[in-house]
Structure 1
C-alpha cells in the first residue's frame, strides 16, 4: 500500500502544502478549525485503497501553507480560489470535494459556485446555510454575561493569545471538549450537580477554553502522538491565520450577494454526529429539515450516534465507508 506524501504547490498566488496518496479520480479533502490535512489521515488511506487519488491541503494560514497577514486575504472567494488552484496545479478538470467544519463551508460554496470543477460534495458537521438577509454577526447570540464564540474570535489579539499560550493543551482540550466523549462527560457532570457548559458561548471577560479540560487518559480515537502533531503545527504557526476565517464572516456575506437563492445542484452527502455542538445552534434543526430545498442533489443525511464534532476522527471507519460508497455511485467524469 502506498504511503501519504507531502509537497508544496503554487496556486492562487500563494504556496499550499498538500498531502496526497493514490491514483484514480480526484478527491479533495478540506479540513476545519483548528486542524490541518492530518485530520483526514484515516480517510486518505481508505480512499486511496478504494482506487482514488486523494489530496488533503493545509488551508491558507495553516500548517506548512502560506499565511498572509492581511485579514481580508481569507475570504470565501480566496478559499474557493485556492481549491480551484489546487485542481489546476494537479492538472485535474474536476474533483469530488469533501469538507469538515470550515472545510465543509468551503466545500458547499465551491460546489455552489463552481459545479463545473467540483462534481460532487460531501460535508461533515456543517450543513449548507443559505445566505440570509442580514450580516451573520448581527444574528449571533449575545447576553449581558456572554457572547457567541465567533464574536470572541472577531477581535484580533485576545483569541490568538489565549489559544497560543499552550498550543498543545489548547488542541488537547478542544478535541476532547467538543467530542462525543467530552459532551457525555459534561452532561454527566451537570447531572451530578455541576455547571452545564455551553461550548458556543464565551463568558464576558473570560476565554474560549472552559471546563476541566481533557482527562489524563484520552479516548481511543485520538492519541497523544496525534496531539503532538497538531500542537507542533500550531506552536510554529500560531492561531492568527486560522482565526482570520472568522473575521471574514460578514465580509463573506457582503461579497456573495450574487449567490443568494442559488442551490447546490451536484450530488451531495451530509454526515454529522448527534452530539456535535454545532447542531445545537439556533435554527440548525430547521436548517437540516429543509436541507433538500437548498441542496436538491442531496442523496443522504447520515447521523452518527454518540459522535461529537470531530466526525472523521471520532468515527474514522464509518465516515470512510460512507465516503467510498457515495463517491463510487457518482457518474464517472
Structure 2
C-alpha cells in the first residue's frame, strides 16, 4: 500500500471509515477495491502495485481494522453500508467508480450498484459472482439443503458456526488456527473445513490436527499482522455481516424494488477460482439465465478462494485487460 495515502472520513452515521487512496489519474477510471471476510484493505497489497496507472480507493470496510466496528447487526444493512462508501467517494470528489470486490466485498460491490447505480460504471467480482437479491427472507437450513442437492455438500456449513454464540470468543482465542483454516494447502481443504458441519469448530479446538499452508500464506508478516489484528479487534464486528444476512434486514432493503433495478447495465467481469467450493460460478446462473447480466465476461483461475493473495499478478492482468478494453479503448 506504499503507493497510497491513508485517510479517514466520519460518516453521517457517526462511523469512522478508514481508507487508502492513490493519486488521481484522469486517464482512466477510479477503482474501488472492497475486501471480504475476514480481511481488510491490505488484502489488495499484491494487486495495487500492478494497477498503479489507475486511481485507487481501498476502504477498510465496516467492522474491520481502522474503521468503526459496531456490534449491532442493523448497522451493516446494505443501504446504509453502501451509503457510507458513497461518502468516501464524495470526500474524494469521485463521481463514478468501477466497483471491485472479493468474497463479501463482492456483495458490497454489487449492492453499491443496486442502491447507487449512478455512482458505478463497471463491476469486477472476484470469487463470488453476481447474486440476485433473495425473493424471500433467507433461511440457512434451506440454503444448505439446496447446496447438498446441487453440489453434494452444504457449502454454507461454516455459517452455522459463525452464527453461534461462542464463535467470536473461539475465533479470537484460536486466531492462529483460523489462519490455517483459511489458507490450508490441500486442494480440498476449504471444502473439508468450511463446507462440513462441525468441522470449523473441531479444527479450532483440536491442536493435534495439523495442515501445511499455501505458499503465499507462509509469509510471516502476513500471518503476524492477521493474528495481531484480530487479537486486538476481535470478531464481533465482522460476524455481524452474517447475522445481518440471516435476519430480514437485507431482504427488506430490496424487497420493494422493481426487478429492473437488478439488471446490471454496466460492463461486468467475474473471476472465479477452481479451488473455491463456496463461491461457485453456479451461484450466478439465475442472474445470467434471467437476463440480469447482459454485459458479462467470465474468467477462471486455478486458485483457492483468496485469489488476491494467491494470484495477485494474474488477477491484476485480467483486471487491467478488462479495464483497457472497456474503459480506455
What TM-score, normalized by structure 2, do the two folds share?
0.84
Counterparts of 1:221 and 1:317 in 2: how far apart (Å)?
16
Residue 15 (1) aligns with residue 16 (2): yes
Could you tell me which residue of structure 2 aligns to residue 33 of structure 1?
37
> What is the Cα deviation at residue 149 of structure 1?
1.9
Maintained 8 Å contact 1:140/1:148:
no
Could you tell me which residue of structure 1 aligns to residue 57 of structure 2?
55
What RMSD over aligned residues (CA atoms) do the two structures have, in Å? 2.8
Please point out which of 78, 81, 86 is paired with 2:80: 78
Could you tell me which residue of structure 2 aligns to residue 302 of structure 1?
299
Maintained 8 Å contact 2:31/2:57:
yes
Secondary structure at the aligned position of 1:160 is classed as helix
Maintained 8 Å contact 2:127/2:271:
yes
Please point out which of 250, 253, 258 is paired with 2:251: 253
> What is the Cα deviation at residue 200 of structure 1?
2.0
What TM-score, normalized by structure 1, do the two folds share?
0.83
Secondary structure at the aligned position of 2:32 is classed as strand
TM alignment of 1:163-312, pairs within 5 A: 163-171=171-179, 173-177=180-184, 181-184=185-188, 186=189, 197=192, 199-203=194-198, 206-207=201-202, 209=204, 212-215=209-212, 218-220=214-216, 222-249=218-245, 250=247, 251-259=249-257, 261=259, 262-279=262-279, 285=282, 287-288=284-285, 291=288, 293-298=291-296, 300-305=297-302, 307-312=303-308
Counterparts of 1:197 and 1:158 in 2: how far apart (Å)?
21
Distance 1:227 1:286, change over 3 A: closer
Maintained 8 Å contact 1:131/1:260:
no
Q: Identify unmatched segments of 5+ residues in structure 2.
A: 149-153
Could you tell me which residue of structure 1 aligns to residue 134 of structure 2?
132
Maintained 8 Å contact 1:11/1:89:
no
Maintained 8 Å contact 1:127/1:288:
no
> Greater CA deviation, 110-119 or 91-100?
110-119
Distance 1:36 1:286, change over 3 A: closer
Counterparts of 2:69 and 2:283 in 1: how far apart (Å)?
36
Could you tell me which residue of structure 2 aligns to residue 42 of structure 1?
46
Cα deviation 1:276-333 (Å, max 9, x = unaligned): 12145xxx526348536222121x111112x11001111111101111121223346x
> What is the Cα deviation at residue 207 of structure 1?
4.8
Cα deviation 1:25-68 (Å, max 9, x = unaligned): 321100000100010001222112xx211111111110010112
Cα deviation 1:110-148 (Å, max 9, x = unaligned): 1222221011110011111212332222523269xx982
Could you tell me which residue of structure 2 aligns to residue 90 of structure 1?
92
